[in-house]
C-alpha cells in the first residue's frame, strides 16, 4: 500500500460541493427511520454501486470522502461508526463492525495540518471489529480476524488472529479450518 498526500489548500470547488452533498445526505440518513425504504434509498444515493446487498448501517454514522468507501455483501456496521475514507476503505463480505468504531485512512501531517497523509485500510472477509475499536491508516485486518473492544490497531492483523489492547497485540489465532474456504 502506497501512501499519498492530499493538500487541503488545493481542494477544488467540486470537492467542496461533494463534501456538502455528502454531509447533507448523511444527516438525512441519520434522521430517517432506520430499516425503511426511504432510509435504504438515501444510503443507496450516498453509496451508489459501492455497497453490496444485505448490508446494514445502524445510525447514526459519519463518513468523510465516502466516495472512497467500498462495502461488500452482508456487512453489519453498528451505530456511531466513523469512516475517514480519504485514503480508501474496503470492507469485504460478511464483516461485523460493532458500535463506536473508527476506521481512519488518513491523518494530518504533524507540521502542516493542511496536508492529509493517506493510506488505504482493508477489512477482509468475515472479520469482526469490537466496540470502540480504532483502526489506523494503512492497516489490513485479515480474514476472520477479531479486533477486541477498545483496541487501537496500528499494524496489520493476520488472518484468524485475535488482537486486543492499545496498541493492539495478538493474543491467539483461531482455527482457520472452522471457517468457510476463501473465495480467492
Domain span holding position 21: 4-173
Of 178, 2, 179, residue with least CA distance to 87: 2
Place of cell 427511520: 33
Residue 184 lies in a domain: no
In terms of phi and psi (left: phi > 0; alpha: psi -120 to 50; beta: otherwise), the region of 11 is beta
- Rounded CA-CA distance 139/28 in Å is 31
The reported pTM is 0.95
Name the CA radius of gyration of the chain, rounded.
Answer: 16
pLDDT of residue 184: 65
pLDDT of residue 9: 86
Residue 183 lies in a domain: no
pLDDT of residue 156: 98
Residue 182 lies in a domain: no
Q: Where are the beta strands (DSSP E) in 48-149?
A: 56-57, 61-64, 69-71, 76-77, 81-84, 89-91, 96-97, 102-104, 106-108, 115-118, 121-123, 128-129, 134-135, 140-141, 146-147
pLDDT of residue 61: 97
Residue 180 lies in a domain: no
Count how many Cα atoms sit within 13 Å of the Cα of residue 74 in the half-sphere of its side chain: 7
Question: What is the domain-level CATH number for residue 94?
Answer: 2.160.10.10
**How many structural domains are present in the chain?**
1
Residues with a catalytic annotation lie at 108
Residue 138 lies in a domain: yes
Residue 149 lies in a domain: yes
Count how many Cα atoms sit within 13 Å of the Cα of residue 76 in the half-sphere of its side chain: 11
Average pLDDT by consecutive 10-residue portion of the chain (184 residues)?
86 85 97 94 96 95 97 98 98 98 97 96 98 98 98 98 98 96 75
Amino acid at each position: 500500500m502506497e501512501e499519498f498526500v492530499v493538500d487541503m489548500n488545493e481542494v477544488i470547488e467540486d470537492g467542496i460541493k461533494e463534501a456538502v452533498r455528502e454531509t447533507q445526505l448523511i444527516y438525512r440518513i441519520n434522521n430517517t427511520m432506520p430499516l425503511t425504504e426511504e432510509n435504504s434509498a438515501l444510503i443507496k444515493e450516498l453509496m451508489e454501486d459501492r455497497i453490496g446487498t444485505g448490508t446494514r448501517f445502524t445510525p447514526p454514522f459519519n463518513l468523510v470522502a465516502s466516495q472512497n468507501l467500498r462495502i461488500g455483501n452482508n456487512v453489519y456496521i453498528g451505530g456511531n461508526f466513523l469512516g475517514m475514507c480519504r485514503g480508501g476503505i474496503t470492507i469485504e463480505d460478511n464483516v461485523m463492525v460493532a458500535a463506536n468504531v473508527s476506521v481512519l485512512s488518513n491523518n494530518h501531517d504533524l507540521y502542516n495540518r493542511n496536508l492529509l497523509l493517506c493510506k488505504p485500510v482493508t477489512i477482509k472477509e468475515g472479520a469482526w471489529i469490537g466496540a470502540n475499536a480504532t483502526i489506523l491508516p494503512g492497516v489490513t485486518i485479515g480474514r476472520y480476524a477479531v479486533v477486541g473492544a477498545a483496541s487501537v490497531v496500528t499494524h496489520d492483523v493476520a488472518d484468524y488472529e485475535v488482537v486486543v489492547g492499545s496498541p493492539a497485540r495478538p493474543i491467539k489465532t483461531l482455527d482457520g479450518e472452522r471457517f468457510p474456504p476463501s473465495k480467492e
